[in-house]
Amino acid sequence: MPAKGINPNQLKFVAPQLENLIYLSGSSFSPVHDIEVSGLRFMYTAPTFMKTSEPLLRSDWTIYRQGAVKIEGAENCIFRANDFIALGGNAIFVNNYNRGVKIEGNRIEQIGAGAINFVGDPAAVRSPEFRYEKFVPFDQMDTIEGPKTNNYPMDCEASDNLIHDIGLIEKQVAGIQVSMAESLRILHNTIYNVLEQVLM
């Protein structure tokens, strides 16, 4: 309800329709590469509450692979000095195969879900399990060294980002979420007023 004395006819109403505003989509065979996005403001994506049905490894957390910015199959791409404000779902989702992606110097605030997510493909993991109480019997464990595929974020970076007031709608969120990824640089970020985890 508007505050007393405010004329509703002079207010601005927003009805978000889209979960995603920019989607960089490639593959390991044909990656999107060498793109920089900077100086933009991302606002008013639709909430994704109740769509978080995919479990993460060895936890009780679930995710939804979407964000105002979704990056998949990219190499050497940068999102720098952007504002992510008043979003219904995740701000940035770096999904599956990505190499050399940088998320740098962004302001991320008033977010319904998580801020920055680096999440790979469970099929790249040998003998994955998805709950604390479950385990793979030793005689069934895949003991070959290294990942099964390259379908996960590697050599990516999240640095110098200001992240606060996230998880306003969804509850299992992090300032920076990392799952099934390798050799990431997470440095010099300021993260506060988060519902669950700063880093997960």
How far out from the chain centre does Cα 195 lie? 15
Least confident range from 37-41, 91-95, 105-109, 193-197: namely: 193-197
What is the per-residue pLDDT across 2-31, written as a single tens digit (0 to 9) for each? 788 888 888 888 889 999 999 999 999 999
Q: What was the pLDDT predicted at 163? A: 98
| Structure-block tokens of residue 37 | 């996005």
pLDDT of residue 197: 78
Q: Is the pLDDT of residue 1 over 80?
A: no
What are the backbone angles phi and psi of residue 190, rounded to the nearest 5°? -110, 120
List Cα–Cα distances, 55 to 8, 96, 154, in angstroms: 42, 15, 21
Tell whether the model's pLDDT for residue 200 goes beyond 70. Answer: no
Distances (CA, A) of 134 to 122, 123, 129, 141, 143: 15, 17, 6, 13, 18
The pLDDT tens digits of the residues spanning 107-150 come to 999 999 999 999 999 999 877 777 777 777 888 877 888 899 99
151 vs 136, residue with greater confidence: 151
